[in-house]
C-alpha cells in the first residue's frame, strides 16, 4: 500500500501538501463521536491507518462541538510517538448556535483575527499538540478582510502554531484574492462524479496554475453512489464495475478514487469512515492509473450523456 502512495506521489511536482508530508488519502474525522470508539480503539485506528499509508487526519473545531478533536487528542496521548508520524488538519470559521466555546445566538462565519487565533489555541489544547500541520478557513466569510486573514495566518506560522495555511469551500475568485496576500496550501472542496462544478468551471485549472493541490470531500457523492433507487447511481456503478474488471480492481469503489486521482491537479481525497477497508479502497485507487477512455466513460455515465 505504501509503495502505491509513494509511486503516485512522485509523479507530481512538489507542492505545499507534499512538503508537509500529507498522504494523498486523508482520514476524515468528522464522525468520530458517532463511532463511539474508546480511546484505545481510536488509537488503534490511527496506528492502522498509518500502517496502510494514510498519515493525514482531517478535523474542524465544529465537529462534535470540539469533542472530536478532544477524543483524538486523548487517543494520541496513549502513544505520544504517533504525533511525529502524522499530519493534523483542522478548520475554523463557522460559529454555530449553542453553548460551546464557539457558540453564538445566530449561526455565522467569523474570520476575524481574534476568533481565528482563539480557535487555533482551542484546537491545540483539545488535540494535545503544539502545532497544526495545516489550518484552513472552513467556509468563506462574507465579511472577510483578506488582509487581516493573511496577517493572522502569517503570525500563526511565525509562532509555529501552524505549519501551513489554506482554505475550504472557496470559489476561484475568493481563492485567488486571498492567495495574492499569502501562500495557500490547499482548497478543500466538494467533488464527485455527481458534483462536477470544480471540473466544469475554472477552479481546478486555477489551482493547477498555482501549483496548489485540492483536498476533496464527499468523493462518493454523500453516499448517493450506493443508492439502489437512483437510476443515475445504478448506471454509474455498472460502468465502474466494468472498468474495475478491466483494471483487476477488488471492486468498483477503488475506481471512483482512481477517477479522481487521475485529475492533473493532483488531488488529495478525504475518506470519512471507521472501516479500514474503506481507507484501503481509496489507497488501492491511488495505485490505479485509468486509461483516458475509461475516465471519460465514467464521466459519461455520471452525466448521462457523452461529451460534446
Q: Indicate which residues carry an active-site annotation.
A: 63
CA gap 297, 303 in Å, rounded? 10
42 in Cβ contact with 34 (< 8 Å):
no
CA gap 127, 83 in Å, rounded? 10
Tell me the HSE value of 23 on the side-chain side, using a 13 A CA sphere: 30
Single out the residue of 5, 11, 2 nearest to residue 264, CA to CA. Answer: 11
Cell representation of residue 123: 484546537
CA angle 161, 58, 219 (to 5 degrees): 145
CA gap 137, 76 in Å, rounded? 24
- Residue whose C-alpha cell reads 445566530 in the numeric block: 106
| String of DSSP letters for 140-160 | --TT--HHHHHHHHHHHHHTT
279 in Cβ contact with 54 (< 8 Å):
yes
CB atoms within 10 A of CB 267: 23
CA gap 81, 271 in Å, rounded? 24
Burial grade of 284 (CB within 10 A; 0-12, 13-18, 19 or more): buried
93 in Cβ contact with 138 (< 8 Å):
yes
Amino acid at each position: 500500500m505504501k509503495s502505491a502512495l509513494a509511486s503516485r506521489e512522485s509523479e507530481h511536482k512538489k507542492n505545499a501538501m507534499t512538503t508537509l508530508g500529507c498522504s494523498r488519502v486523508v482520514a476524515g474525522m468528522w464522525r468520530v463521536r458517532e463511532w463511539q470508539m474508546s480511546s484505545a480503539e481510536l488509537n488503534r485506528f490511527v496506528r492502522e491507518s498509518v500502517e496502510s499509508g494514510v498519515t493525514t487526519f482531517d478535523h474542524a473545531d465544529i465537529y462534535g462541538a470540539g469533542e472530536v478533536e478532544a477524543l483524538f487528542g486523548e487517543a494520541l496521548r496513549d502513544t505520544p510517538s504517533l504525533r511525529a508520524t502524522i499530519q493534523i488538519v483542522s478548520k475554523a470559521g463557522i460559529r454555530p448556535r449553542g453553548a460551546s466555546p464557539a457558540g453564538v445566538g445566530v449561526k455565522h462565519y467569523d474570520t476575524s483575527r481574534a476568533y481565528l487565533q482563539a480557535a487555533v489555541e482551542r484546537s491545540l489544547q483539545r488535540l494535545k499538540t503544539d502545532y497544526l500541520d495545516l489550518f484552513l478557513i472552513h467556509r468563506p466569510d462574507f465579511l472577510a478582510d483578506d488582509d487581516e486573514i493573511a496577517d493572522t495566518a502569517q503570525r500563526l506560522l511565525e509562532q509555529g502554531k501552524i505549519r501551513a495555511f489554506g482554505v475550504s469551500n472557496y470559489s476561484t475568485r475568493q481563492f485567488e484574492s486571498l492567495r495574492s496576500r499569502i501562500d495557500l496550501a490547499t482548497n478543500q472542496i466538494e467533488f464527485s462524479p455527481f458534483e462536477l462544478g470544480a471540473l466544469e468551471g475554472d477552479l481546478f485549472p486555477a489551482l493547477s496554475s498555482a501549483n496548489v493541490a485540492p483536498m476533496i470531500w464527499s468523493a462518493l457523492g454523500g453516499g448517493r453512489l450506493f443508492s439502489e433507487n437512483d437510476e443515475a447511481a445504478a448506471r454509474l456503478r455498472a460502468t465502474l464495475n466494468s472498468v474495475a474488471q478491466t483494471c483487476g480492481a477488488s471492486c468498483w469503489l477503488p475506481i471512483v478514487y482512481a477517477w479522481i486521482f487521475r485529475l492533473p491537479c493532483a488531488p488529495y481525497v478525504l475518506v470519512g469512515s471507521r472501516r479500514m477497508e474503506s481507507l484501503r479502497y481509496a489507497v488501492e485507487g491511488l495505485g490505479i492509473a485509468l486509461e483516458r477512455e475509461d475516465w471519460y466513460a465514467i464521466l459519461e455515465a455520471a452525466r448521462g450523456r457523452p461529451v460534446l
